[in-house]
Amino acid sequence: MTFHQTHLLGIEALRPEEITTLLDLADRYVDLSRGETKHTDVLAGLTQINMFFENSTRTQASFELAGKRLGADVMNMAMQASSIKKGETLIDTALTLNAMQPDLLVVRHPNSGAVDLLAQKVHCAVLNAGDGRHEHPTQALLDALTIRRAKGRLHRLNIAICGDIAHSRVARSNLILLGKMENRVRLIGPPTLLPAGIQEFGVEVYDDMTEGLKDVDVVMMLRLQKERMDGGFIPSEREYYHRYGLDEAKLSHAKDDAIVMHPGPMNRGVEIDGTIADDINRSVIQDQVEMGVAVRMAAMDLLAQNLRARRANAA
């Protein structure tokens, strides 16, 4: 087995073979999840704690379901109502949880780097469920699985990532993953929503959708992350939709069989036309959600195998 990680903190640390190992296992978990008995016991006896310091619907539900399908004992910490509100630091919270002997800790946090910090303080496997603008590795992996299944491969594809790239950990993790797997990635968005130093990533940058979408295989739309903006990044939502929102006319420049993706939650009529999002011949947005559960099952399975091996060696 090629997967040597202790934690899943970002795509940065993964080698291409590790990504392939994880996606291959995830394919098997798609089959399991489509069957009648959606259950194995590979995590039986292990405790998984989900700590979400930022709102989440699909990611948290997906991790919870993934853990349950693998037979773990899953606990969701309601962080809004927790001691954090009383001023406890992230590290104190982590140490308290560590004392409860979890085996897998799934963490989402508004600060970039917070999950890495936490991983240094605990004795279990930590999975990053999104930290600030930094990384969201399971999202990039589920996107990769969705693309691989739809296109039959995960290399030499032309992929456009569009919209609010500056604030997006999804864009960052995807950029790293798709680059590692040797795809051509283009970024399309207004200059105000592109991160500084983007040239270093070796990608093509466009501020015009018509030009940028020409002949792409995959169109990945991003949510306009208003909660991370502190002022005038865009003139107005109407203007933004006009220039950068994905509609039929703009999509017609992509390849005829191009797929449309969005990590959710979607702002219909802001970054994407609702009809395109719902078009089952183009949009794979629901597939992304399905692949999310399978990819998280695979990630937790692999990390738990490594955790058990480390413990056996230490004993």
Binding site for ligand NCD (CB under 6 A): 58-59, 130, 136, 139, 169-170, 223, 225, 263-264
Which lies closer to ligand NCD via its Cβ, residue 102 or residue 132? 132
Minimum CB distance to ligand NCD smaller for 183 or for 225:
225
Q: Residue by residue, what is the 3-state secondary structure of the chain?
A: CCCCCCCECCCCCCCHHHHHHHHHHHHHHHHHHHCCCCCCCCCCCCEEEEEECCCCCHHHHHHHHHHHHCCCEEEEECHHHCHHHHCCCHHHHHHHHHCCCCCEEEEEECCCCHHHHHHCCCCCEEEEEEECCCECHHHHHHHHHHHHHHHCCCCCCEEEEECCCCCCHHHHHHHHHHHHCCCEEEEECCHHHCCCCHHHHCCEEECCHHHHCCCCCEEEECCCCHHHCCCCCCCCHHHHHHHHCECHHHHCCCCCCCEEECCCCCCECCCECHHHHHCCCCECHHHHHHHHHHHHHHHHHHHHHHHHHHHHHHC
> CB 98 → ligand NCD: shortest distance, Å?
25
The answer to whether the CB of 296 falls within 8 A of the CB of 66 is yes
Residue whose beta carbon is closest to ligand NCD: 223
Cβ contacts of 78 within 8 Å, gap of 6 or more: none
Q: Which is nearer to ligand NCD, 21 or 288 (CB)?
A: 288
User: Which is closer to ligand NCD, CB of 225 or CB of 283?
Assistant: 225
Shortest Å, Cβ 258 to ligand NCD: 21
- State the nearest-atom distance from the C-beta of 129 to ligand NCD, in Å: 8
Nearer to ligand NCD, 69 or 223 (CB): 223
Whether 163 and 189 have beta carbons less than 8 Å apart is answered as yes
Considering the complex, state which of residue 179 and residue 264 has its C-beta at the smaller distance from ligand NCD.
Answer: 264
CB of 59 to ligand NCD, least distance (A): 4
Q: How far is the CB of 289 from ligand NCD (least distance, A)?
A: 9
**Which residue, 59 or 93, is less far from ligand NCD as judged by CB?**
59
CB of 136 to ligand NCD, least distance (A): 5
User: In whole angstroms, how close is the CB of 17 to ligand NCD at the nearest point?
Assistant: 26
